[in-house]
Structure formats: C-alpha cells, structure tokens
Chains A and B, each alone.
Chain A
Amino acid sequence: MKYLDKKIEEIHKLLKEKKIKPIDLVEEAFQNIENSDCNSYITLNKEEARNVAKELEKIEVEDNLLFGLPIAIKDNIVTKGLRTTCASHILDNFIPIYDATVIEKIKKNHMIIIGKTNMDEFAMGSSSRTSYFGAPTNPWNKEKISGGSSGGSASTISARDVLFALGSDTGGSIRQPASYTGIVGMKPTYGRISRYGLIAFASSLDQIGPMTKNVYENALLLNILVGKDEKDLTSVNREEEDFTRFIGKNIKGLKIGVPNYFMSDIVSKDIKNKVKEIIKVLEENGATVDFIDIKYLENAVTLYQIIAMGEASSNLARFDGIRYGHSIKDPKDIDDLYFRTRSEGFGEEVKRRIMVGSYLLSGENAKIYYNKALSIRDDMRKEFKNAFQKYDLLIGPTTTTTAYNLSDSMDDPLKSFLDDVLVNPVNMAGLPGLNLPIGFDKEHMPIGMQIIGNSFEEAKIYQLAAFLEKKLKLELDPNRGEKNV
C-alpha cells in the first residue's frame, strides 16, 4: 500500500482502471500521517474524507489528474463543517458555516480534504512554534523546525504523507517552510487566487498557494485554484492558462537576474555556494545570468512589519467573543468580555503584533509609518518592474540559513523576521515566487532557491524550476524508502 509514492499519472491510471479506489489513497494518507508523526495536523478530517472517498466511487473518474487525491489544507482557510482554528485558542472551537472559494474549487475537482495543517497562530511567525497546538517538526530532522507559517503543510508534503497541500504566504509563509523542508512551494501573484475564506492576517499581502513535492504537481494544483472571484475584489481576471505548458522546455536564451542583496553576507556560505553552482548550471544550458541591484530590498522587512502588523491589528479585531470562537464565561461588562476573551484567546506573538500594529496606526503614526510604508512599497514595485524589463526571472536563495533547532530561543522577535528577509520583498511587490529545493547543507538539511517572476508569469517560473529539478535529480524523500519498511 504505497500508491501515493507513485507518479501522479500512474495513480490516476490505477483509479481509472478501478485497480484502486479513492478510499485506498485516503487510508494510506492517514496511515502515512500517523507514521511520520510530525504534528503536521491540527484536525484530521477522518470521517468526512472517507465519506467523500466512498461517494467518489459512484462517479466516473474524470480526465483530471487530481481526481480522488487527498489534499491537506492550512488551518487558516475556512472549511464548512470542519474545524478551522488558525492554530489559535481563540478559534479552537470554530466550525465554519461556509467554504473558502479555493475549497469550493478543490471539492469541485473531487479532491479529498484530509485535514487541516498546523501553522503559526494566525500565520504570525516563521517557525510554526507560535501554534497553540505545538510546533510541527521537520521530517528531515525532528529536532528542527519545519518553518512557518505554513509549517504543517510543508512537513506533511516533505514527509510524503500526501501529494498536495495548500499554504498561505503573507511574508514568505509558503516559500520559507518549503525551503526548510525541501519541497516546492509557490506564492502566486497577488490577486491570482481568491482570498475569500482565507482568515486575513495582512489583507494586502496574503495569498494562498500550492505546496507539493515536485514542480509539475505544483503547477497542476495551481491550475484549479486561480481565477477571478466575485467575492474577492482584489482577485484578478485573467485569461485561462495551463501552468504546466512550459514544463519540459529548455532554458536557452532565458535572461536571469540575481539581486546582489540576495548574495550578500546575510546569507550563509553553504547556501550561497549552492546558488552559485546553480548559476553555473544555468549558464551551461544557455541562460544568461547577471548580478543586479534592486533598490529598497533591504527595507522590505521593515515595510513588511509596518504593513502586516498594521493590517493585522484591524483584521484580528473581530475576534471579540460575541459571535464565534472562544468567549469567557460571565463577563462583568462588554469591556471585560473583550479584554479577557482576547487576553486568553490570543498567544503572545499575536498580542505583540496587534499592539505594535495598533501603535503604528494610532493618530499621526498612520501617516508617519503605514502611509509611508505603502509609498515605499510602490517604489519597490517599480524597481522590480524595471528589472523585469530586462530579465525574465530573478533568482536567489529563499532563506539565509537552513532550518534551525526547535529549541532555539524565540525571545528575539527580530531574528524571526530576519528569517524572512529574502522572501518579504516578493509579497511587497505582489509578485509570484517559488521555492525549489537545490541541495543540502553539511547536516543534510534542504537548501532552497527562490525563483521570482514578473506579475502573472508563474508559467515561466515553473519552466525554469522544472528544468533545474530534472537536472539536479535530488533525492528529496526524507524517508528514503524507509516509510513502508
């Protein structure tokens, strides 16, 4: 029983020929999750997943490679009837009464939701250690973090529990954990995928994206997630496209830029060297690679903090104990209800960000900080836009280090932001960015490379990623075949 390790086309063929049933894949996924034991999930959808799998037996297998395949959903995306907690005590009893738009799409494509994955509380963090449910662990080394905030989605894909997961990326939350766990994670262009039903952290930055073990499957999943949604005014209307269409093409003539900041001393030697090796591979295969300057990159973290915390302080105001979620018993008055519900319900990091965010928007500060950050963000966008007039894609490391130890101190909040120094700029500019595993460090922890495209050029990113994936032929299964022994 190891169908989920097969190629997606083979699984599909088996389903089509009725040699296996969706329920077999569901049972295998639950077994895998139990075996890998990475605390990847907050809630498993056992009963309903089995029901759906049984229901799928009644219908013809469509010409849809995703048919009947299990998928894990980050726990900040609402699922009707299935607990959605945002890894927070304040929502630990919250059962949504509606589906996010992406969930509707997943159900329409007959994928099976296997469970809700662990994450940093309200996606605030870079190691998933702010989760109310304890941090997920890295399948490559259980002493290590799986990154964050989509740490659970990253670890379950890395552990080969399931083929597909959804993450969300506000300041790197898909790409950074993908890098730490050696998987492929895509943050699409802002507006590509409807945010309706994604519990907002920072509305102007949040974006849902696919997390998979390889490039092709990533593009397949993106195919069904995108599209203008009437319910999300920030979603964008684009012509339908197949994101797999450039996969398999060579890279001759591709012009690639490497921002100097991405190769500066903030990045560890191991990682820099690995990226340099990749640059050589690219050049050997007909691409041109230039080192370039992009202004404001070094400001991205500061801008990110101001914008994300400002917006978060407002987005999280609705959790007040009145309509849903955690609510204290016998409040003295309305202020007591607010105060104690939120004091008990939110964790330390969330409270800290709400307080800082409130301060940043308070009185004249809104002008000094938030508005100014928005205007520098515009400048940074223009910088990227200029770069993309000359270059097809930008590359660089995804992270400055590989995954660190779960036991490392969390006391320095600035350090956790520095984890995201290379991923933040992409959110600021609203661009698509992908993490591709490119090798390992001395401790055999995965190293990731980030590929950044111009707005709506995800297909080109996949082209380069798939080319390198094929060239590098890395063994990216941490179980190395041990799983089913």
Chain B
Amino acid sequence: MSNYIPTIGVEVHLELKTKTKIFSNSMNGYGEMANSLTNVVDLGYPGTLPTLNEEVIKLGIKAATILNCNIRKVMHFDRKNYFYPDNPKNYQITQARTPIGYDGYVEITLENQEKKKIYIEEMHIEEDTCKSAHRGEKTLLDFNRAGVPLIEIVTKPCISSGEEVKLYLEKLRELLSFGDISDCKIEEGSMRADVNVSLRKKESDPLGTKVEIKNIGSISNAKLGVEKEIKRQTKIYDNKETIKPQTRRFDDKKNDTILMRVKETGNDYRYFPEPDIPFVVLTDEMIESCRKEIPMLPDERRQIYKEKGILEINVNKLVQNRSLSDYLNTLLEEKIDFKIASNLLLGDISAYLNKKEKTIQETTLTKKRFVELVHLLENNTLTSKNLKEMIEDILEKEDSIEKIMKEKNIENITDDTEIRKVIKTIISNNPESVEDYKNGHDRAIKYLMGQVMKETKGKVNPKMTMDILLEELK
C-alpha cells in the first residue's frame, strides 16, 4: 500500500443547554414523551413566526470565545431551503453568511506531547430538526427536538489522522461542557460529529475527493472510522480507481464505513436572509459580560491545582469531576493544605457522594465547615479512621465539625507530653517487650503500640504515637 497524505475536516453539532428552544418558548429537554415539548411554532404551523432566544446568542458568544474565534457583531440568520420530513418548515433557520464566530482554534496535545492547533473555520447558530423513527412502513416524527438550539463548529481541513480527530473531539467536549455550553453527550445526540476525509499524494497536490462520514456514535468510532476510511481510499487509489463524492456512515458491527449515498450534484439550498428575524447587533458590553460569565476552563484549573501542590493524579481526577472542581475553586483563597483537601474530596467525600448519588453542592458541607475539617486533619486532631465514622454527619448535618466530634465521643490526644507520659508508663510496665524490641523482634513494637492504643482508647494519632514510642525506646 502506498502512502497518501490524509486531509481531514470535522463538523460538530452541539445542542445548547438553554431552558427554551431557539425560536419558540417550548422547553428544551431530552427524553420527554414524544411531541410533549412542542408548540405551533416548532410544528411550522401556518402564520407562526420565530422569536429569538437571547440565551442562545449569549451561549454563542461564550462558545466563540472559548474556541478563540473572532465574534461577528452584526449578524443575521438565513433560510436553508430543503424538503425533508424532519424539517417542519421545509427550511432550516441557520447562519450561512454571517456565522457568529470565525477564525478560531483549539489546541490539542499529541501523543508525543507536542501541541497542535486545530483551526476553526467558523461557528454558527442554527435550529435542530425533529427526530424521525422508522416503524415498519411508517415513519414517526417527534418534534421535541425541532427548534432545539445548535451550534455547528467547522474546522479547516487541517487534521491529519484519526488520532487527531479523537483528540480534537475530546478537547472540544471538555471545553464546551466545562463552559456550560452543551452537555456534549454523543449518546444522547447533544454532540454529533461528521468527518470529511480525502487523500492526496503530495502536499502540493490539490485536495482529493472528499468523503463525508456521518452518524458517528462515539469519539473512539470517529477515530476508527477515519482510519478505516483512509485505508479504504488508499486501496482504491492504489488500484488506480477514482472516488466519487459521497456520504458514508460508520457501522459499529461491521467496524467499517458504509456507503449511504453518492453526492450527485452540489445541493442547492437557496439560502437567503431570514426576513422574520431582524439583524442581531452585539455590543462590546454584551460580549464582555458574556466573557466574564465563562467558568474557569480545564487547562487553567489544572495549572492552579498543580501550583497548589495537588498530586498530578488528583489534578486529573478533579478536572474530570466538574462539581468537586467547582467546589474546590471556591476555596482557592483559603489557607489550607490543598493536598489534604484534594485527598479528602476525592476520598471519603467522593465515596459518600457516589453512594448517595449526590453532588457536594447538595450537602451541608459549607466552605467554613470544609476549612475547619481540613485544619483538624492538618493538625492531627482528626484521624482518617475518625473521618469514616463522621462522614455522614459531616455531609448531612449543619453542626460544626468539633461538635460532631464531641457527639461521637471522638477526642484525640494531640498533646505530645500527655502521649509521652502514657508511653513512659507502658515502657516501664513491659520490660520484657522492651528487651525483645532491642533484640530485634518487630512484633514487640506492635504490642507496645497496641498497649498505648488500649490505654488511650485509640484517641491518639498513630503516626505521632509511633514517632514518640521509637524515640523513648532509644
């Protein structure tokens, strides 16, 4: 097989996380009863007109900002005319000529740790179509999705492998879900990717014939699909055959791309400016206030957590857990040991939250109580053993941590002179064990430790006690 240079471009559709639809006041929701989230506007009833959901424009500005795009200040919507049963007006309202964002990029980190910019050609706002389901001879239509706001993000043809496609999609998902733009759930259809693949011999050659791969069900399939498609096209070119412009889909079971349709002629969508929606003019103030509302993005979080001394493994775990990460971000100004704080969040607290299917924001653990808790752990007033006993009360009650400790009868001896006193008594009462220890019997030290614990009813910090014990035995 010869080597060809693949040129890949990706188009991603994302459903925006708005309360209502883009052009009507129907709710924007997933998984509801078919056609329960619709009104006459979504159904394209005669006489209806679109309104414009301001939230969509705001999310558009935010997404464009996150993707490092220029933002167009005067824009309009266009009608894309085509007949299809899932398209209630038989035109889709989109932005063909004045996309809200253009000339942006997303940076991915390749396997060799090199950074690569994936350039964004444009990013525009449009409405989703309705969902069709085929039942035997019949096609059923669910208009709940009709009019759900979308952004479509189109890259330049600057991607060169399936791996890069995967990294780009992962990065996009991370950025835009953290930016509260979209749920980015491929399985629910809130993130959908189409990939265009073409091959050519040399960089100086014109681009080869473009093949579009649609219906990609997961990010790993996107990578697989591209790789399979490159192989398929390579074989065709090696056989001196030609490729027709076409649309294919990735088939999970066959683990390959399958022809959907050959593109006969260029589609004629008869675009023209939507006369029902006046031009939208964005002011600098509006853009600025949207920028300010963008939550901290993952890369910045990683950077800060590292600076706070959190272990690399915990940094990544935190960034993957949005609500814990948001919680931690409210504590960044506090003078606490962030290593302990991150262990606490990802350890006992996480375990409890997962068990109860709660988020930390739904617990009683206020900032103040969390800081108290970390301090108690820092100065050994609390042991990790104690924590397990107390975790439910910590997260469900509003009492101070100290009060919970008292109720649970947890009273640790943190005064080392007191511990030393106990240890001295134990040593003088157990000369044989001391002798054994000095003769190199490891078991003796454990016995002595046990005696201390017994005497103090476990209210001492084990590490601190061991240190003093070893000191006294010298």
Contacts and interface: CB of A to CB of B under 8 A. Distances in A.
Interface of A: 77-78, 84, 86, 91, 94, 96-98, 100, 195-200, 202-204, 230-234, 310-311, 313-314, 317-320, 322-324, 334, 338, 358, 361-363, 366, 370-371, 374
Q: Which 10 A-B pairs have the closest CB atoms?
A: A317-B90, A361-B270, A204-B275, A203-B275, A197-B47, A199-B46, A78-B47, A318-B44, A318-B89, A199-B47
A230 to B, nearest CB: 7
A314 B79 contact: yes
A333 to B, nearest CB: 10
Given A314-B79, A361-B270, A366-B270, A231 B46 contact: no
A320 B83 contact: yes
Interface string B14-53: 0000000000000000000000000010011111111110
Interface string B116-153: 00000000000000000000000101000000000000
B48 A233 contact: no
Interface of A is mostly: loop
Contact of A91 (B46, B89, B273, B278): B46
B220 interface: no
A98 B40 CA distance: 8
A314 B47 contact: no
Interface of B is mostly: loop
Nearest to B271: A366
A361 B274 CA distance: 13
A231 B278 CA distance: 13
A322 B270 contact: no
A318 B88 contact: yes
14 contacts: A196-B47, A199-B46, A233-B277, A234-B276, A314-B79, A322-B141, A323-B45, A338-B83, A361-B81, A361-B272, A362-B268, A366-B270, A366-B272, A374-B273
B4 interface: no
Contacts of A232: 49, 276
A112 to B, nearest CB: 21
Nearest to B80: A314
Contacts of A98: 40, 45
Chain B interface size band reads 20 to 34
Contacts of B40: 97-98
Interface string B76-117: 000101010100111100000000000000000000000000
Interface string B203-214: 000000000000
Contacts of A313: 81, 270
Given A314-B270, A338-B83, A358-B270, A96 B47 contact: yes
A192 B50 CA distance: 18
B49 A231 contact: yes
Given A231-B51, A233-B49, A323 B43 contact: yes
Contacts of B48: 196-197
A203 B276 contact: yes
Given A363-B268, A366-B270, 6 more contacts: A78-B45, A98-B45, A200-B46, A202-B275, A233-B276, A314-B270
B90 A320 contact: yes
Given A98-B40, A366-B271, A318 B47 contact: no
A94 B46 CA distance: 10
Contacts of A318: 44, 46, 88-90
B85 A334 contact: yes
B81 A322 contact: no
A362 B267 CA distance: 10
A322 B52 CA distance: 26
A100 to B, nearest CB: 6
Contact of A317 (B50, B83, B272): B83
A237 B44 CA distance: 26
A361 to B, nearest CB: 4
A365 to B, nearest CB: 9
Interface string B344-362: 0000000000000000000
B91 A317 contact: yes
Contact of A230 (B45, B51, B139): B51
A338 B82 CA distance: 12
A319 B51 CA distance: 21
Contacts of A361: 81, 270-272
Contacts of A322: 85, 141
Contacts of B268: 362-363
Interface string B367-405: 000000000000000000000000000000000000000
A319 B88 CA distance: 9
A385 to B, nearest CB: 19
